């Protein structure tokens, strides 16, 4: 927390990279690493979506932590015996301490763990998805989309920078504000940016170019949590997403696109925010609503043109062992 009650995110990440040439000591190798995520976390959800869109499920196996955690760490309470079956640990914290016994930063997801050593390689979520696009190309599925095409990278980077500051992190700046003044500033900044994004998307199906890119993934993970969590829990309540026609249609378009909505677990999302943030929600009561069936209503965005996967094609159906449980999504 900064002076004046402004929320400040700890951005000290492990920035080691897994690359095709192994220049940081960690070469891309199928099956060597384990992507640890929680479906509750928007930063981890980016990695889940990109991995699925690119078809990296076999090359980069995934571990799913439970939706809640304590001050120590995310836990593998969804797995039999409460341990990840590959890493053999109960808490993600153990992989961070294997890398650095004195580690004193956030135990965050997504994190990529080197299975042979049990050590976290990186938790630099922004770079993780870029490297999935650029460094893991040998293992992309046939028909995988170009999420970070060279010609569009400057524009994607510029959009991502403003979306991160004002929207992705903006909802947290509002929700965790320590003063009325800092909350009001974050609130205004958030909705000003959402208004600008609405105008940008009025005549364009996607944020940059005519296909899905990294920019759409990053905005989507905040939008999909907006009505279920951020509107009430984080006091981002000028309007619900479902009351912002352009962004609501845009979000539904992505949700109904293979690779997006089929990774979203609304049950985990709500349990995480409402049960973990006891300073905001002391009772830990998880709301029953909202009604999620409206995510499947027609969006009519195809009339704007655009090709979701460019010259490629949608991913195959989700593997049964990675499917979101029935009742946790309107798609089930």
The whole-number average pLDDT for the span 13-25 is: 98
CATH class of 150-322: mainly alpha
**Mean per-residue pLDDT, 122-133:** 98
For residues 116-125, average pLDDT: 98
| Domain spans in the chain, listed from the N-terminal domain onward | 33-139, 150-322
Residue 1 confidence (pLDDT) above 90: no
141, 143, 149, 155: CA torsion to nearest 10? -110
Whether the predicted pLDDT of 72 surpasses 60: yes
Instruction: Report how far Cα 98 is from the mean position of its chain's Cα atoms.
Output: 25
Q: What pTM, to 2 d.p., does this model score?
A: 0.97
Task: Identify the active-site residue in 13, 103, 164, 172.
Answer: 172
Q: Is the pLDDT of residue 207 over 70?
A: yes
CA 86 to chain centre: 23
What does residue 112 show for φ and ψ, rounded to 5 degrees? -110, 125
Catalytic residue among 7, 33, 41, 250: 41
Question: In three state form, how does the secondary structure of 168-214 look?
Answer: HCHHHHHHCCCCHHHHHHHHHHHHHHHHHHHHHHCCCCCCCCCCCCH
* Averaged pLDDT for residues 204-222: 98
Residue 3 confidence (pLDDT) above 60: no
* Domain 33-139 in this protein, CATH class: alpha beta
- Would you call 33 a catalytic residue per the annotation? no
Mean pLDDT of 197-203: 98
Q: How far apart, in whole angstroms, are the C-alpha atoms of residue 243 and residue 227?
A: 10
Active site residue 148: no
């Amino acid at each position: 927390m900064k002076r004046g009650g402004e929320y400040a995110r700890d951005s000290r990440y492990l920035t080691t990279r897994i690359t095709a040439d192994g220049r940081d000591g960690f070469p891309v190798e199928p099956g060597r690493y384990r992507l640890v995520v929680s479906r509750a976390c928007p930063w981890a959800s980016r990695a889940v979506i990109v991995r699925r869109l690119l078809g990296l499920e076999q090359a980069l196996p995934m571990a799913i932590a439970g939706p809640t955690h304590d001050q120590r760490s995310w836990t593998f309470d969804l797995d039999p015996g409460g341990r990840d079956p590959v890493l053999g640990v109960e808490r993600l914290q153990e992989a961070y301490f294997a890398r650095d016994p004195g580690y004193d930063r956030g135990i965050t997801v997504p994190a990529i763990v080197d299975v042979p050593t049990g050590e976290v390689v990186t938790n630099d979520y922004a770079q993780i998805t870029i490297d999935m696009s650029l460094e893991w190309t040998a293992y992309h599925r046939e028909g995988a989309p170009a999420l970070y095409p060279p010609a569009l990278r400057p524009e994607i980077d510029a959009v991502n920078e403003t979306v991160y500051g004002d929207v992705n992190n903006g909802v947290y700046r509002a929700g965790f504000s320590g003063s009325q003044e800092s909350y009001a500033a974050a609130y205004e900044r958030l909705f000003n940016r959402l208004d600008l994004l609405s105008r940008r998307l009025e005549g364009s199906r996607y944020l940059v170019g005519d296909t899905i890119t990294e920019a759409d993934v990053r905005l989507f993970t905040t939008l999909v949590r907006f009505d279920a969590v951020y509107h009430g829990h984080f006091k981002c309540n000028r309007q619900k997403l479902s009351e912002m026609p352009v962004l609501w249609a845009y979000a539904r378009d992505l949700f109904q696109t293979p690779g997006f909505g089929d990774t979203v677990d609304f049950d985990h999302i709500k349990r995480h925010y409402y049960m973990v943030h006891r300073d905001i929600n002391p009772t830990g009561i998880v709301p029953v609503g909202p009604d999620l069936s409206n995510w499947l209503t027609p969006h009519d965005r195809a009339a704007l043109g655009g090709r979701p996967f460019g010259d490629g094609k949608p991913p195959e159906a989700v593997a049964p062992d990675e499917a979101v449980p029935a009742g946790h999504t309107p798609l089930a």
